[in-house]
Structure formats: structure tokens, C-alpha cells
Structure 1
Amino acid sequence: MAQVTQRLPTQPSGEDSPAGASIASDRVRRRTVQVGGLEVPILESGSGPLVLCLHGFPDHAASWVGLLDRLARQGYWAVAPAQRGYWPGGAAPDGSYRASATGQDALDLIEALGREQADLIGHDLGARAAYAAASLDATRVRKLVGMAVPYGPQLRTAWLTNGDQQRRSWYMFFFQTAMAEPAVELDDFAFIDRLWREWSPGYELPDAERSALKETLRGAGVLAETLGYYRQLFSPPADAATQTLEARASGAITVPTLYLHGADDNCMSVELSDGMDAVFKNGFERIVVPDAGHFLHLEQPKTVADHILGFLNN
């Protein structure tokens, strides 16, 4: 494994500080880890049982910094990797941004870090990866936390039949077009600012964190790769082997699971998580977090961390 390459900028921290803030960074370190064919950048803090925090779009691993610190202070080894495609040179080696590929990445990272098992926390597309990992190999996942994107057939049904969710998911359909990449980049990624405003009404990402996120998306080749997640979302894989993997990655989950959703999420309707318990076979709890939108771990960091730690520690 590569050695620590850089520490995060030092700023004040505390349990009530935004989870994406740069905090007392002698506790949060950066390095890269060889995972499959990629040198994966990770942020990490603490020691003890392993917890992986998986980010979504439009986001990056740095939004987990506050939670990493909180987990570390509670005795966990908290690690937030960049998802495939989210750094220059990080394009998917097999070209896949499907759930089975990102779920396997999480399982491979557990092994690369020298552990047999980990807890998984996923937000947005990171939640999709966490669900897939638990479906692919439940023996490698002790507990599972999903946030902001539900699991089960109701989501795909909503894209076909639910006018409200179709409106919320307009960006997914726009990303299928050739206009998407230049439109997202225009005017210093004003498109990204718009998504954050719409998805988390009333919350404003601090300027430093906003700039850091845009630097991630500005990396060579990164935006085109991140759009690949959505460009593969609605089309079935052409080869039979990937079709089989995708079916395995979307099966019933036998890992104890906590699901958190912001009450004011304007990206994914909270109602889409109704009935999720039907596909979780070993314990499931859903909590709707008040006064939070899509980026609930940033909007209500202490509340979200309290729920997560209560679940992991039990």
C-alpha cells in the first residue's frame, strides 16, 4: 500500500461541525491503495473495526471528513475511498459503472485493507454500491447503512410511472445527451450548484467545500467518467456475465440495515423508501431525518452520526 501523501488543511472541528468540513486533519489522512487495476485515493481516520463510507454524485470522498472523525473517536477505522472515475487516471478498467462493479470495488477494498469484513455506509450512488456489495457477498459486510437512495424495484417503477419522481430525476435523463458534459462544466460548474440547491433546499455548501468538489470534477477525464454512471443506468448490459452479476447485485439483502432519508429531499422522494423492508431479510430500520434534504449527512451531521453510531454499536 502507498504511504500517506498529504494531510488535510487544519481547521476547528467538533461534533456539530458540518460533516464535509476540513477538520483537525492530523486525524484524517490521505493515501492511495492498490485495488484491482486502480490506485484508489482514500481518506482515513482512526483504528479498530473497519467502516467504509461511499460517496455519490455530485460529491466526493471529502464530504465524509466529519463523519470519519466522529467514527474514529468512537473506536472505528473509518475510510472514505474515491469511487471509480472520480480522479484522473481512475476510469473504470472494465468500463463499467454499474452497481455490480462499484459493489465489487467495496469488497475488493476491504480485502486490500487487510480485513475480512467491514461496515458499509453509502450515500446516493454510494448507497447503491453498498447495497450491491452486501448482495454480492453478505459475509464481507457486518452492517449496512444506506442514505438518500432507496433499494428495491420501486425506484425503477417510479422512473417509469411516477411523474413527481420523473421531474426530480430530470438530470438523469439529461445526462444521456451529448449536451450534458459542456452544460455541466459551463460557468464554473453552475449546473452542480443548481443540483445542490434543488436537492437540499435551505442548505448551502460552504465555499471551501464547494471549490474542492469542483476541483474534483474538473480533473482530467473525471466528468465524462462520472456521467457514465447515469449513461449505463437505464440500459441492460450486453454480455451475459454482467447480466448475471447485476442480478446478483440486486437481490435480497441479508445484512442488518439502517436506512436514512432526509424529509426534505428534493432529489429522491422519501416515499420511495416505503416498503423497503420487504427486501431486507435480517433486520431493517428506516429513519426519516427532519430538516434535511438529499445531503443529510452534511445538513444534520450530529443527528445522522448519532443514528449511525447507535446502529453500529448495538
Structure 2
Amino acid sequence: MSEIKTEFLKNGEREYKYLSLGKGKNLIFFFHGFPDDAGSMKRLMEIFSEKDFTCVAPYMRGYSSGSNVPVSTTVSIAELAGDLKFIVESLKAKHKPERTVVVGHDWGAIAAYGLANLSPGILDALVALSVPPLPTFLKNLFLYPSQLVRSWYILFFQLRSGIPESALLRNDLLRRLWEDWSPGWKIPEDRFQEVSQNLKIPEHLSAALGYYRGLLTPENFTLWNSSRELVFQKISVPSLILAGENDQCVATSVYRGLESEFYSRVLYKVVSNAGHFLPLEAPEVVAKEIFSFLKVDFK
């Protein structure tokens, strides 16, 4: 098997770092969430590279040096969707694939939903892991108030003066999030340390928290309004939505009724015995479900 390579893509001042593997006729992107980075997609990349896919796992905005230029302390969904659009279009032009698939986990899923509405014509399929469409999430939030308790960290991250940053840099909160969101699953220590070291870079951590601050306390209300308009459109790209049965970050109950947010074919499935970090906890199961959805043989 070929080795995973680290490559870079420039968009003016901004530079995107990404991992790549394979030279297949189909192109698949893996976008990570929080608290995480592209390294958590390596096992999925290995599986798909053996099935005629060229695999790309970008570091999301702020998670690599030069990706949050010019510097912003809040990040909007509209900006993230624009990032994904640039990355996908640029690498489609380079590889000229037969099919293009985007897989997003956590914040990567939120950005991918945005991309599907911003530029649906560039995708053949969308796969979202561990997060439902935001309109579905918001509708169910008041029906299932226990989710408000699970989402406590979103409000905590709105604090300034370095309070959330300090808690995360001490590693106790960072480890707690991983353990709480995937109970009973043993975190790969090398993966945890890699993520921890990446988030110890001040500008990386500031940008990562900026995603959450952009939701509730944005600096730019024009971008916030653009994000709102983007998020509340119905999706027309064929989509697969996967949730972990034991996910303690986003409960399976808040996925109910998600079909109403799609014009396209959509399939929702729950992954048994898995929590929030599906790319790490159940990569083979995730891959099998994606292959089935795409009608690709899985052996």
C-alpha cells in the first residue's frame, strides 16, 4: 500500500494542508470535526484507496498553519462551505474523477451540508457522520431537552478571556470530551496526543473555538446571515447519514424527521456499539455503509 502523503493547496493568502492516498478513478474527501484533525481519517483512507478511490483528508480551517489567513476569531458555516467548495473544485480539476463523494464528521458534516446547498452540482454523494442537518437538530432540541445538557460545551465555548482555552490546554477537558462523547471506548493514546499537540498551538485552538462562537456570538453578522440562509435550504444531493448508537454528544433522538430536509434520496442508519467518533471507532462499518450506499462491492 502507498504511504499517506501530506500536501498543500493555496487560495490566495490561505493555505490548506491535506492528507492524500490512492490513485483511483473516484475522488472522496474526508472532513474532520472537533476536537480532532485529519489524522483520524487515515483508516478510512486506507480502506477506500483499495477500492479505486483517490482519498483526500483536509485539515479544516484553523487546524493547520496558514489556513485561517486573514485571521478571524469566529468562523461561519458559510466560510467553511466556501473552503470545502474551493478544495473540492480544485482537486476535481486536478484528478478529473468519475464520481466525487464528500464525507464529513461532526463540524466536517455541518460544513458538508453547507457545501451541498452552496454548490450541489460538484457532488455525487454526501455522507454525514454524527451530526444531523441543523434544522432537524434545532427542531428536536426542544422536544428532547436532554440534548441541551449534552450541548453544554457550546455555551461554555462562548466565554472569552481565555477561559475555555485554558481548560482545553490543560488536557483534562479535552480528554473529558472524548471520553464523554464515546463512553466505553478506549481513546487511542497516540491519536489523542497528536490532536492535543495540534490544539496547543494558540491560533489553532482559537480558530477551533471560533466555529462555536460563530454560531451564537459572531463578529460578522453578514456571514452569520449567509450561513443561516445556507443551512435552512433543503438538500438535493443523495445523502447517507450515520449516527453512533451510544453517541453522548448528539443523541440519536435529534435525528428524527431528518428526511424532511432533503429533496434527494436520503438514508439514515445507526451504527451499533459506537459513540461519537465514528471514523476512529468503527471505520470498517462506516466504510461498508458508504460502499453499500454508493453500490460499491465491499469484501
TM-score (norm 2): 0.90
Listed one character per residue, the Cα deviations across residues 24-71 of structure 1 (whole Å, up to 9, x for unaligned) are: 6x4311111113531111001112221110000000000000001111
SS of the equivalent of 1:153 reads helix
Equivalent runs, 1:1-314 vs 2, <5 Å: 26-47=2-23, 48-91=25-68, 93=70, 95=72, 97-115=75-93, 118-159=100-141, 162-178=144-160, 179-186=163-170, 189-235=171-217, 238-240=220-222, 243-244=225-226, 246-313=228-295
Unaligned runs of 5+ in 2: none
SS of the equivalent of 1:113 reads helix
Q: Larger RCO: Structure 1 or Structure 2 (Cα < 8 Å, ≥ 6 residues apart)? A: 2
Please report how far the alpha carbon of residue 98 of structure 1 lies from its aligned counterpart in structure 2 after TM superposition.
1.4
Paired letter, 1:86: Y
Identity %: 32
Please report how far the alpha carbon of residue 156 of structure 1 lies from its aligned counterpart in structure 2 after TM superposition.
2.5
Per mean C-alpha deviation after superposition, the further-off stretch among 252-261 and 301-310 is: 301-310
Alpha-carbon spacing, 1:112–1:180, altered in 2? closer, same or farther (3 Å): same
> Is the 8 Å Cα contact of residues 262 and 270 (structure 1) preserved in structure 2?
yes
> Is the 8 Å Cα contact of residues 262 and 296 (structure 1) preserved in structure 2?
yes
SS of the equivalent of 2:209 reads helix
Alpha-carbon spacing, 1:236–1:227, altered in 2? closer, same or farther (3 Å): closer
Alpha-carbon spacing, 1:32–1:261, altered in 2? closer, same or farther (3 Å): same
Alpha-carbon spacing, 1:37–1:160, altered in 2? closer, same or farther (3 Å): farther
Alpha-carbon spacing, 1:183–1:241, altered in 2? closer, same or farther (3 Å): closer
- Structure 1 CA distance for aligned equivalents of residues 235 and 70 of structure 2: 27
Please report how far the alpha carbon of residue 158 of structure 1 lies from its aligned counterpart in structure 2 after TM superposition.
4.6
> Is the 8 Å Cα contact of residues 158 and 166 (structure 1) preserved in structure 2?
no
Please report how far the alpha carbon of residue 106 of structure 1 lies from its aligned counterpart in structure 2 after TM superposition.
0.9
How many residue pairs end up in the alignment?
Answer: 288
TM-score (norm 1): 0.86
Please report how far the alpha carbon of residue 205 of structure 1 lies from its aligned counterpart in structure 2 after TM superposition.
1.7
> Is the 8 Å Cα contact of residues 148 and 261 (structure 1) preserved in structure 2?
yes
> Is the 8 Å Cα contact of residues 21 and 55 (structure 2) preserved in structure 1?
yes
Alpha-carbon spacing, 1:94–1:252, altered in 2? closer, same or farther (3 Å): farther
- Structure 2 CA distance for aligned equivalents of residues 114 and 288 of structure 1: 31
> Is the 8 Å Cα contact of residues 78 and 226 (structure 2) preserved in structure 1?
no
Q: CA RMSD in A?
A: 2.0
Please report how far the alpha carbon of residue 253 of structure 1 lies from its aligned counterpart in structure 2 after TM superposition.
0.4
> Is the 8 Å Cα contact of residues 135 and 232 (structure 2) preserved in structure 1?
no
> Is the 8 Å Cα contact of residues 46 and 78 (structure 1) preserved in structure 2?
yes
